[in-house]
Amino acid sequence: MGLAVVVGALVGLAAVVFLELIAWTQWLALGTREELLISGLNQDHWWRRMAAPVVGGLIIGGLMLVFYPNLPRPPGVAYVIAASALRRGTMSFRDGIKAATLNGISLGFGASVGREGPMVHWGATIGAWGARALGLDPRVRRTLLACGVSAAVAASFNAPLAGVFFALEVVVGHYAFSVFAPCVLAALTATLVGRAVRGDDPAFVMPEIVIAGPIDFPLFGALGGVSGLIAVLFIFISFRIVRVADQLRLPWWCRPAIAGLIVGLIAIQLPQVLGIGYEATQLTLAGQYGLLLLVAILVGKIICATACQGLGFGGGVFSPSLLIGAALGAVFGQLVGWLPWETSGSSAYAIVGMGAVAAAVLGAPISTVLMVFELTGSYPMAVGSMVAVVFAVGLSRTLTGHSFFTRQLQSMGHDIRDGKDISLLANTQVSEVLDEEPDTVTPDLPAPATLEAVIASRWGRVFVIGEGSRLEGFITLETSRSAFDDPDKTAADLASPALSVTSACDLTTAMKRFVEKGEAHVPVIEDETSQRLIGVIHDFDVSYAYHRAMLVAEGQEELPEAAPWSREDRA
If phi > 0 it is left, if psi is from -120 to 50 it is alpha, else beta; for residue 31 that is left
Q: Does 354 share its domain with 426?
A: no
Q: Does 149 share its domain with 231?
A: no
Q: Does 167 share its domain with 239?
A: no
Q: Does 174 share its domain with 230?
A: no
pLDDT of residue 303: 96
What residues contact 565, with CB distance under 8 A and at least 6 apart? none
pLDDT of residue 387: 92
Q: Does 387 share its domain with 518?
A: no
pLDDT of residue 522: 83
CATH code for position 133: 1.10.3080.10
Q: Does 467 share its domain with 352?
A: no
Q: Does 66 share its domain with 126?
A: yes
| β-bridge pairing 461-465 and 471-476 | antiparallel
pLDDT of residue 557: 44
Q: Does 397 share its domain with 451?
A: no
Domain count, the chain: 3
Q: Does 395 share its domain with 457?
A: no
pLDDT of residue 480: 62
Residue 297 is assigned to a structural domain of this protein:
yes
pLDDT of residue 479: 64
Residue 210 is assigned to a structural domain of this protein:
no
Residue 165 is assigned to a structural domain of this protein:
yes
Count CB neighbours of 338 within 10 A.
7
Q: Does 476 share its domain with 538?
A: yes
What residues contact 38, with CB distance under 8 A and at least 6 apart? 271, 272, 274, 279, 280, 283
Give the chain's length: 571
Query: At which of 198, 226, 256 does a domain end?
Result: 198
Residue 205 is assigned to a structural domain of this protein:
no
Query: At which of 383, 416, 449 does a domain end?
Result: 416
Task: Note whether 322 and 358 are within 8 A (CB).
Answer: yes
pTM value?
Answer: 0.77
pLDDT of residue 539: 75
Q: What angle do CA 427, 428, 431 make, to 5 degrees?
A: 140
CATH code for position 461: 3.10.580.10
Q: Which residues pair with 464 in a beta bridge?
A: 441, 473
Residue 322 is assigned to a structural domain of this protein:
yes
Query: At which of 399, 416, 433 does a domain end?
Result: 416
Q: Does 305 share its domain with 398?
A: yes
Residue 290 is assigned to a structural domain of this protein:
yes
Mark the ranges of the chain whose per-residue pLDDT is less than 70: 42-44, 200-203, 210, 212, 415-428, 479-485, 513-518, 546-571
Domain that holds residue 107: 2-198
pLDDT of residue 136: 81
Measured CA distances, 345 to 159, 310, 338, 428 (Å): 25, 35, 11, 53
Residue 206 is assigned to a structural domain of this protein:
no
Count CB neighbours of 537 within 10 A.
28
Q: Does 132 share its domain with 38?
A: yes
Residue 203 is assigned to a structural domain of this protein:
no
